[in-house]
Chain A
Amino acid sequence: QITLKESGPTLVKPTQTLTLTCTFSGFSLSTTGVAVGWIRQPPGKALECLAVIYWNDDKRYSPSVESRLTISKDTPKDQVVLTMTNMDPVDSATYFCAHSDSGYFHDSFDFWGQGTTVTVSS
């Protein structure tokens, strides 16, 4: 079965760079049509899709934070990494990674990790 799990720091300081890793099993990111996305949710607020990476290494980013994001994949390790630079307290949120195979550049997410909570504070 498909599982995903996020890992990374729980606390980062303002201006620092956040690096999160999504480790998954039950599928391969080398399979045509497969993608992994990062979605975040500030406390009590709505979901925001930050970035998506595809089996062919194409990437898409949220326009609102694109300049601060990098998404990459390590296919042999079954991992996807998200980096976000210049962290600010407003970036405090639960960060989820999720699987998609709903269509190239049309991503609904059918399997999700449990999420990891990141707090930005000095």
Chain B
Amino acid sequence: ETGVTQSPTHLIKTRGQQVTLRCSSQSGHNTVSWYQQALGQGPQFIFQYYREEENGRGNFPPRFSGLQFPNYSSELNVNALELDDSALYLCASSPPGTGRTGELFFGEGSRLTVL
């Protein structure tokens, strides 16, 4: 069984640019969440997608946006990059039936560096 896969694994951008990060959810999982993990910190919730719609959002500005596709894969888009956006971006998928327990299955992340 393939787990959550993310691409690219590393990338470097400059301030003001835009970035798209991709995530394939684990087989059978229908919910995708995105988290930002700054160096030395715990992950922070960005948003969650279910049935191709955002249905939960953390304290992140609108320049962070996302998509979920019919095959449950997802994208995270960040516009007008700032230096503080440098972080590890983690995608997590969840199987049906975990809406109460909230279990997350994480990918290995995409490390974004903004210069």
A binds B: no
- Where the two chains meet, the residues of B that have a C-beta atom closer than 8 Å to any C-beta of A are none
